[in-house]
Amino acid sequence: NAGVMQNPRHLVRRRGQEARLRCSPMKGHSHVYWYRQLPEEGLKFMVYLQKENIIDESGMPKERFSAEFPKEGPSILRIQQVVRGDSAAYFCASSPNRGREQYFGPGTRLTVT
């Protein structure tokens, strides 16, 4: 059973460009979570999605950030008009059900130049 997959693993964008981060959950998992992690810091919750639904986006900045988890295909975290402060590691995690353990993907390291 393949684990959570994320791509790309590393992404470099210039200020003002768009960044698209993809996450394919473990087989059988329909719950996806996105987290952001700055160097030497903990994981900050961004958004929780179930298939086609955003359940909790309380950790997501109101502007420039959006997330989706379509019926078919991976979950996408989209950052428009990136700024230097968006540079971080972005992890997604999947879970088989509400309140269950979350399994993390390898992360996407975003660098904004």
Question: Which residues of this protein are in contact with another protein, per CB under 8 A?
Answer: 31, 33, 35, 41-45, 48, 55-56, 58-59, 91, 95, 98-107
Residue closer to another protein by CB (options 22, 103) is 103
Cβ at position 11, least distance to another protein in Å:
16
Report the C-alpha gap between 5 and 77 in whole angstroms. 14
Residue closer to another protein by CB (options 35, 86) is 35
Report the C-alpha gap between 17 and 82 in whole angstroms. 6
Structure token digits, residue 9: 């693993």
Residue closer to another protein by CB (options 45, 64) is 45
Report the C-alpha gap between 21 and 78 in whole angstroms. 6
Cβ at position 26, least distance to another protein in Å:
12
Buried-state track 95-106, b at ≥16 Cβ within 10 A, e below 16: beeeeeebeebe
Cβ at position 56, least distance to another protein in Å:
5
* Short-list 24, 22, 21, CA closest to 2: 24
Cβ at position 99, least distance to another protein in Å:
6
Residue closer to another protein by CB (options 15, 51) is 51
